[in-house]
Amino acid sequence: MASTHKWTDTDTAPDVLKEGQLVNGTDQLIRSKIAEGAIRAGLLVSRGTSDNQVIPLAAIPAADDNAIATLLASAASAVVYSDTDLDGATGTGPIFPARGVTLKLNSHADWDATVAYVRGLDADGNRVTEEFTVPDAGNTTVDGNFGIAFSRVLSVHLPAQTGTNGTCDVGLVSDQSMELSAHDCGVSVYDRVREPSATATVTFDDEETLSVLYAGEIAVITETAVVPGDAVGIRMVESGSDVRGQFAKFPAEDPASLVFAPLLGATFESTTAIDGVAIVRLRG
């Protein structure tokens, strides 16, 4: 969708805009949801227990070295594991936020120096394939490449090996290469006609109805200075008064710190300084 914002590349968003306020009435996708827990306007929220609920972004799940599959066996011929072969707690199910994959190889001479492949979907639902270098004799954990994240793992391809005694667990790292998507995350919308919450940091209380923007333009507070066209990052790690779901330019800092995850399909549309109000456009 083409942007319809009214500011030039050097303009700032009007001072009267509030965090979570809708901007422009065109090309919007807004859904009515029920708050599952307390939610503040202007933050990124994700799906709750059901499709009609949303929750604040949760803490990053812990690393799990066999979340996708346990003890996949090597073989004299190439083998593809999929569906019920991926028997970990996550298996072929959704991974949120999308995260990097890891292969844990046992120590055995049946592992040859070859390349394994993991195939699945990224945070936007696009197909992605990642290569993993298998060292001779195994005995290592191989992390995926920085910048590749899976929202689902569909199959694991192990190339031909010397024999059947090599085993491989497939898991998820804690925070490497996280990705979020405007397809399944939205921004809680400020409602100027509702009665304010008694708590300053809460706009919508548990089980209240709220509107969530999945496509269109909305005002947010950004932790960093931004200009039109900057990629959008979302805070994933709380720090003091900074909460998960806040906005910043991506990358906002050394990517190795992994405090922010990119929000795919989103860009800043106005200029502002640190802690200023900026326009974000979601292309959900």
Task: Give the residue carrying structure tokens 């569909």.
Answer: 154
pLDDT at 206 over 70: yes
Higher pLDDT, 75 or 252: 75
pLDDT, tens digit, 9 for 90 and up, residues 83-109: 999 999 999 999 999 999 999 999 999
Residue 2: per-residue pLDDT: 40
Asked whether the beta carbons of 55 and 40 are under 8 A apart, the reply is no
Q: List residues bridging with 33 in a β-sheet.
A: 210
More confident residue, 26 or 94: 94
Q: Give 44's strand partners.
A: 187
Asked if the model's pLDDT at residue 25 lies above 90, the reply is no
What mean pLDDT is predicted for residues 118-145? 96
Please determine whether the domains at 22-59+180-283 and 64-172 fall in the same fold group of CATH. Answer: no
Which string of DSSP letters, residue by residue, matches 24-91? -SSS-EEEEEEESS-B-TTSEEEE-SSTTEEEEPPPPPPPEEEEEEEEEEP-SS-EEEEGGG--SSST
Specify the pLDDT at position 10: 46
The mean pLDDT value for 60-70 works out to 95
Question: Residue 171's CB: how many other CB atoms inside 10 A?
Answer: 23
The CA distance from 282 to 42, in Å, is 13
Is the torsion defined by CA of 238, 244, 249, 250 positive or negative?
A: positive
Instruction: Please tell me the class of the 22-59+180-283 domain.
Output: mainly beta
The span from the first CA to the last CA of the chain, in angstroms, equals 10
Q: What is residue 256's three-state secondary structure? A: helix
CATH of segment(s) 64-172: 2.60.120
Q: Where are the domains of the chain?
A: 22-59+180-283, 64-172
Q: What angle do CA 267, 95, 182 make, to 5 degrees?
A: 20
The pLDDT tens digits for 160-205 are 999 999 999 999 998 777 999 988 899 999 987 665 444 456 789 8
pTM above 0.85, yes or no: yes
Whole-angstrom distance, CA of residue 37 vs CA of residue 54 = 8
The DSSP bridge partners found for residue 38 are none
Predicted local confidence at residue 16, as pLDDT: 72
